[in-house]
Amino acid sequence: MKIPSLLLRFPRCYFSRRTYFVSFRFPSRADFLGVESLLPAHRCLTKWICSSNGLRRELCQQAAPEQQVEGLSDREQRLVDRLYHGLIQGHRACLAEAITLIESTQSRKKKVAQVLLQKVLSYHREQEKLNQGKPLAFRVGLSGPPGAGKSTFIECFGKMLTERKHKVAVLAVDPSSSTSGGSLLGDKTRMTELSRDMNAYIRPSPTSGTLGGVTRTTNEAILLCEGGGYDVVLVETVGVGQSEFAVADMVDMFILLLPPAGGDELQGIKRGIIEMVDLVAINKADGDLVVPARRIQAEYVSAMKLLRKRSKIWRPKVMRISAKTGEGILDMWDKMTEFRDLMLTSGELVAKRRKQQKVWMWNLIQENMLEHFRNHLAVKDKIPLLEEKVLRGVLSPGLAADLLLKAFKDGL
């Protein structure tokens, strides 16, 4: 019988395995702690017991990557290695293939994607340590109503950054049709100059019914872009209104782009999105629209004074820019770098990122729980019947939901 390497590496620790290691004798159990982990399908539930918190964490960290790799076939492991090495070497084709992999809804590909993400995350942590704990990239969320000039601004802004030796990744999110389920994905066609730039990468993605103007995997795509060496990541979101600020939970700075004829300051406050922004940019401030742009700027400056401060060291700014002429673009970048430096110095940026990871974890749990609920054997067959009764008016939606939840709970 082959003894696991962990038992040989930690001989003074007590290990029990439900199938093979039934009983071990040791001097004292008073200060011992338990750590449980699940091995792949071909192994059984294992309970590791060790005598220190440090060793417990070490066991968990060492076991997790090994368990994930063991569950992959040789072909899948070669795919992960190829994408990982190509990604950290800066190959755009490998980055594109990796994002396609994490966007897949197929269960097997999801597992392969998580192994790849874990490797990229480990590499990301090592690079941050070499960078004295500072973030490797600046994540910027960009939102605004249709017609505000978001794509034109991104092309002008991105070209300015690449000329300054930055590497820019653009994650452009397009809304999916509620009837056909399709998405146009036409943002890249508006950025002809930037799409030809070798220091830029543009990735349009569909929302696929996800609320908040972002895709299910936007956060993971940001991590892959940073692993590929891109130091500025722009997330352009769908202008959908109050659900828009979901993107604020995954970026360092949230920018709202508005046209000069965007209504008065009351419209901005009503939308709710204005409470989440760090910078408001009034675009198209050129030609005959200079005067309306100045008026909107003054109104939003006064509106900002009524809002509660989200940061102790930063008050949201309102600027006028023109993506067409390039006026104000450099000043806007200066304001953005000032924001980043202040947040880094105060420690708010690192704390914000940690909080975002927790929020995004619970968002994914909610989404996966709904999918698990729909596919559960106890409710899968009942859903069409109860939906039909709700449509005919026989059952109220609340009662139908209670019946499905009860069936789900009884089936657990």
- Residue range 49-74, pLDDT digits in tens: 444 444 444 434 443 444 445 578 88
pLDDT, tens digit, for every residue of 121-166? 999 999 988 988 888 899 999 888 878 888 889 999 999 999 999 9
Q: What percent of the chain has pLDDT over 90?
A: 34
Q: Same structural domain for residues 82 and 188?
A: no
CA dihedral 247, 188, 290, 305 (to 10 degrees): 0
Query: Under a CB-based contact definition with an 8 Å cutoff, are residues 203 and 170 in contact?
Result: yes
pLDDT at 226: 92
pLDDT band at 321 (very low <50, low <70, confident <90, very high): very high
Q: Same structural domain for residues 119 and 243?
A: no
Q: Same structural domain for residues 81 and 168?
A: no
pLDDT at 215: 61
Q: Same structural domain for residues 92 and 108?
A: yes
**Residue 248: inside a domain, yes or no?**
yes
pLDDT at 244: 59
pLDDT at 11: 46
pLDDT at 39: 38
324: domain range? 135-345
pTM listed for this prediction? 0.74
CB atoms within 10 A of CB 79: 19
**Residue 186: inside a domain, yes or no?**
yes
What's the distance, CA 9 to chain centroid?
A: 37
Find the mean pLDDT for residues 375-391: 90
**Residue 364: inside a domain, yes or no?**
no
**Helix, strand, coil share (%) of the chain residues, nearest 5:** 55, 15, 35
Least confident of 43-52, 143-152, 317-326: 43-52
The number of domains in the chain is 3
Choose from 14-23, 356-365, 391-400 the range with maximum mean pLDDT: 391-400
Helix, strand, or coil (residue 318): strand
Query: Under a CB-based contact definition with an 8 Å cutoff, are residues 284 and 324 in contact?
Result: yes
pLDDT at 369 over 60: yes
Question: Within 13 A of 69's CA, how many CA atoms are on the CB side?
Answer: 11
Phi and psi dihedrals of 41, rounded to 5? -60, -30
CATH number reported for the structural domain that contains residue 89 in this entry = 1.20.5.170
Question: Within 13 A of 375's CA, how many CA atoms are on the CB side?
Answer: 6
Q: Same structural domain for residues 263 and 314?
A: yes
Residue that terminates a domain, selected from 130, 162, 178: 130
pLDDT, tens digit, for every residue of 15-42? 444 444 434 444 444 444 443 333 344 4
Find the mean pLDDT for residues 194-208: 84
Q: Same structural domain for residues 214 and 241?
A: yes
pLDDT band at 271 (very low <50, low <70, confident <90, very high): low
Residue that terminates a domain, selected from 115, 130, 145: 130
Residue that terminates a domain, selected from 113, 130, 147: 130
Q: Same structural domain for residues 286 and 201?
A: yes
CATH number reported for the structural domain that contains residue 190 in this entry = 3.40.50.300
Token pair 């046209």: residue: 259
DSSP state letters, 51-102: S-HHHHHHHHHHHHHHHHHHTS-HHHHHHHHHHHHHHHTT-HHHHHHHHHHH
Look at 35 and 112; give whichever has higher pLDDT. 112
**Residue 54: inside a domain, yes or no?**
no
